[in-house]
Amino acid sequence: MSSHLPIVIVVSGPSGAGKSTILQRALVEIPHLRFSVSHTTRPPRPGEREGIDYHFVTRDEFLRLAVAEKFLESAEVHGQCYGTARAEYARAAEDRSDLLLDLDVQGAESVRAKFIDAVSVFVLPPSYEHLERRLRSRGPTDEAAFARRLAVAREELELFPKYDYAIINDDLDESVESLKAIIRAARCRTSRIEPAARKILSTFDPGK
């Protein structure tokens, strides 16, 4: 078992706000950061890859994993099941990385309860019109699915004050820089630096 305790960074925000886009960029640009690949019962969107964007599973398989307590957290979102496997955290610990999670507001709440030093970030679209446009730009889906996501968006947005940080995703480059700065700051917390700092201190007292 690895002694590394990954920093848990949770990103939430309404569907279409731009979370995946920001996360994908940050993951390429920040070393030692791992994306938590969730399980979901929703069908893949065009371009989404099994095991990279999600683990796409049937409802039966999802239930089997839930009963076997394989999930750190799980929730029903927009009529589909989503869950984070405990193995994702274990893998981040193994390869001495921090863990970046894209979770709905219920998932973020569960993770905050389990990891008191988790860092939470809420991504807001600049406006309702931006959100609607971005949702539609992502490709074809039925009108009912659009309407469901837009209706839920307002309720989710109300919860932004529960998060440590918020990013208004207008300019993509700026949003990516903000997320990178948040992660960098989390890595500089005194609690994270303590073992290294103690070692440095000991060099000032070579006799002991």
Instruction: Verify binding: residue 82, ligand 5GP, rule CB under 6 A.
Output: yes
Instruction: Using the rule CB under 6 A, give the single segment among 14-22, 53-61, 64-72, 140-148 that binds ligand ADP.
Output: 14-22
Tell me if 7 sits within 8 A of 115, measured CB to CB. Answer: no
Q: In the block, which residue shows the tokens 């992660």?
A: 183
* 134 interacts with, out of ligand ADP, ligand 5GP, none, CB within 5 to 8 A per kind: ligand ADP
Instruction: Verify binding: residue 21, ligand ADP, rule CB under 6 A.
Output: yes
- Strands 33-35 and 119-124, sheet pairing: unpaired
CA nearest neighbour of 176 among 121, 108, 118? 121
Instruction: Verify binding: residue 157, ligand ADP, rule CB under 6 A.
Output: no
Instruction: Verify binding: residue 41, ligand 5GP, rule CB under 6 A.
Output: no
* 42 interacts with, out of ligand ADP, ligand 5GP, none, CB within 5 to 8 A per kind: ligand 5GP
Task: Report the residue from 8, 83, 169, 179 that binds ligand 5GP according to the rule CB under 6 A.
Answer: 83
Tell me if 156 sits within 8 A of 14, measured CB to CB. Answer: yes
Nearer to ligand 5GP, 7 or 77 (CB): 77
What is the Cα–Cα distance from 184 to 115, expressed in whole angstroms? 18
* 103 interacts with, out of ligand ADP, ligand 5GP, none, CB within 5 to 8 A per kind: ligand 5GP
Tell me if 17 sits within 8 A of 124, measured CB to CB. Answer: yes
Q: In the block, which residue shows the tokens 């539609």?
A: 136
How long, in residues, is the chain?
208
Contacts to ligand 5GP by CB under 6 A: 12, 15, 38, 42, 73, 75, 77-78, 82-84, 102-104, 106-107
